[in-house]
Chains A and B, each alone.
Chain A
Amino acid sequence: MPQQVFKRPRALSDKATHFCPGCTHGTAHRLVAEAIDHFGVQEKTIGVACVGCAVFMYDYFNVDVIEAPHGRAPAVATGVKRAQPDKIVFTYQGDGDLAAIGTSEIIHTANRGENITVVFVNNTVYGMTGGQMAPTTLLGQQTTTSPYGRDFRTDGYPIRMAEMLATLEGVAYSARVSLHNPKAVLNAKKAIRKAFEMQVNEMGFSLVEVLSACHTNWRVKPLDGQKKVEEEMIPYFPLGVYKERTGKDFL
C-alpha cells in the first residue's frame, strides 16, 4: 500500500490561483497554510487581505478572510485581534501596501506589539497595477514609472522593512526569507512557522518579509526571476532573523 507523502494543506483551498505561472505568491500561500495546519488553528484563524495581487486570498485559504483597504490591513487586524484575542490573525501584504501607503499602520501596529502575524511579500514592484516603482524597487531597476532606472536622487532608496521594524520594542519576531530555490523555501517555511508560533505563544507582533520574484513585471523568464532574487535582491535585502524574542521578559 503506497503511503501518501505530499498533499495540499487543509488550510489551502483546492483552487487554481490567478497568479502568473512561476510566481512565488503560490509558494508563500502554501507555506502560510502549512503553518496554520501545523498549529491546528485553521478553525480559529482570520486572514486579512491587502490590496494588490494577494487580494484574492479569500479564494485560496480555507479560513475566514476580511479584505482591508490599501495599506490598512494591520489596523483591520488590530480590530479583529482586540475583539477576538483568542483567534489567530494574520495579514498578507505586498510591498506597495505595507512599505508605501501602509507605513503608518504597520509601524504603529508593530510598536503596539499587537499579537498578530504579518506576511510581507517584497517583489520590488506594484505587481497588480502593471509593474510600477515600489518603495522596495532596487537602485537602477527599471519599472514602468522609473523607465530610466530608480535614481536615489529623485526616488530615494529601497526601504528595508524587516530591519526597521526589528528596532521596535513591540516586535517579537522579524525575519527576511526568500523563495528563490528549494533550500530558501525550507528556510522560509521555518520562519513563517516561527512567526505563527510567536502569536500562538502570545509573544507579540511577528513579521516575515518574503523576497519574491515578479518575472512578469520584471520582463524576465521565471527562472531568470529567481536568479535576479538571488543575485540582485539578496545583496541589498540580506536574509536573516533580525529579532527573535525568547521569553516574555518584555512584560
Chain B
Amino acid sequence: MKELQLIKGNVALAEAAIQAGCHYYFGYPITPQNDIPEYLSENLPKAGGVFVQAESEIASINMVMGASASGVRAMTSSSGPGISLMQEGMSYMAGSEIPGLVVNIMRCGPGLGGISPTQGDYFQATRGGGHGDYYNIVLAPASVQEMFDLTIKAFELSDKYRNPSMVLADAILGQMKEPASLVPSEPVQFSDKPWALTGAKEHKPQYLKTLYLNDGEQEAHNLELKEKYDAIREKEALWEEKGLENAELVVIAFGTASRIVKTAIKMAKEEGHPVGLIRPLTLFPFPSKAIYEASKQTPKLLVVEMNTGQMLTDVQISASRDADIYFYGRPGGGVPTPEEVLVEIKRSINATASIQTPPRSVR
C-alpha cells in the first residue's frame, strides 16, 4: 500500500520536479502558482539545486533555456500573463530543440483577468503560442496525484524529444489538497544529451541556434521538426476513457472540468442515461484517434470546457464527420456545477438537429 499525503497540487508538482532530477528553477511570482517557487526556494538548495527569482518571466524562460542547454533538467512556472511573456523564449527553445518544463497554473484572461480557475489558455498551449511553426508537448492533470505523475512525465517527454513541454493546470488543481503518493510509480527516465553545451573538450565546438538564412535551410529545419511532432502525435497521446460501451453520449473534458463531468455522468446514469467519457491527459498530442473511434460508435459528443470552446476545435477536427458535437463552456472563472453539466448532457442526448447548440453561458 502506497503511503498517501494530504498535499496541495502546486506542492505535489514542485516535489515531482525535484524527484524528476530537476535541480534548476527560474521564475517570477504570480498568483495562483506561488506555492511552486516558494516550495522550491526552500527545498531545491537542500537537494543541491539552484533557485533563482528572475526579474521577469522573459528572463525566467531564457534562464531555463541556458540551463537546459547545459544538459540539466530545468523549469519555470507561471500563470497566464507570465506565460504570454515566455512565448518568445519557448519559440526559441522549440527552434533550437532545447528541452525544459513550463508550468501554467491557469488564471482567467484576457489581460490581467482574474485569479480564478479557467482553461482559457488551451489554444496558447497547444498551438505553439509563440511565433513560428512549432508545438509544445502539453500535459493536463486532473488531480493532485496527476500533478505529481504528469510533471515527471513532462520532463521525460521534453528530454526525449528535445522540445519544451508544459503542464497545463488551473487555480483549482494548484490550490486544492488531495491525498497523493509522492513516490514515482516507475523509475524516472533520463535521456543522453550529446548536444549539450558543456565546453568543447570532449566534442568539437557545437552550437544551439534557430537562425537559418541559407537557401532552403529553414524549410528543411521546419520539416525535421514536423517529423518530430508527427512521431509525438503517433506515440505519446494519453487519455482516460470510461463507459464508452453502449453510451448514448460521449463527453470530452480535461483537467478540472473532467472532474465535474465525472460527477454529472454518474447522475446521468442514475437517471438511466449511459454516458461515456474521454479525458485527454495530453493536449498535444491530442488523442484524436480515441475520439474518432468513440464518435464512430457513439456519434453524439459533448465537449465541456472552462472557456468558450477551444479544445472543441480539436474534437471537431478529430471526430467522425457523422458525429453531432455539442458544447458547454464556462469562461472567465466560471466553474460549472455537476447539475449544470447534467442539464447539458440531457439536452445533448435529446437534441435531434446535427447543428451546434448555442453555448448556454456564452450568449
Q: Which residues of A contact B (CB under 8 A)?
A: 13, 42-46, 48-49, 55, 58, 61-69, 72, 75-84, 87, 104-105, 107-108, 112
Contact = CB atoms under 8 A, between A and B. Distances in A.
Interface string B58-82: 1110111111111110100000000
Nearest to B203: A64
Given A83-B70, A84-B70, A66 B58 contact: no
Which of A58, A67, A79 has the most chain B CB atoms inside 10 A of its CB?
Answer: A79
Interface of B: 24, 26, 50, 52, 54-56, 58-60, 62-72, 74, 88-89, 92, 96, 197-201, 205-211
Given A63-B205, A78-B26, 5 more contacts: A64-B207, A66-B208, A75-B58, A79-B66, A83-B50
Contacts of A108: 54-55, 59
A78 B211 contact: no
Nearest to B209: A67
B200 A63 contact: yes
Given A76-B63, A78-B52, A69 B26 contact: no
B208 A75 contact: no
B65 A76 contact: yes
Contact of B66 (A42, A45, A61, A76): A76
Contact of B74 (A49, A61, A75, A79): A79
A83 B151 CA distance: 21
A62 B58 CA distance: 29
Given A55-B211, A79-B64, A83-B66, A64 B199 contact: yes
B201 A44 contact: yes
B88 A64 contact: no
A242 to B, nearest CB: 22
Contacts of A77: 66
Nearest to A43: B201
Contacts of B197: 46, 64-66, 80
Contact of A82 (B24, B58, B96, B199): B24
B26 A79 contact: yes
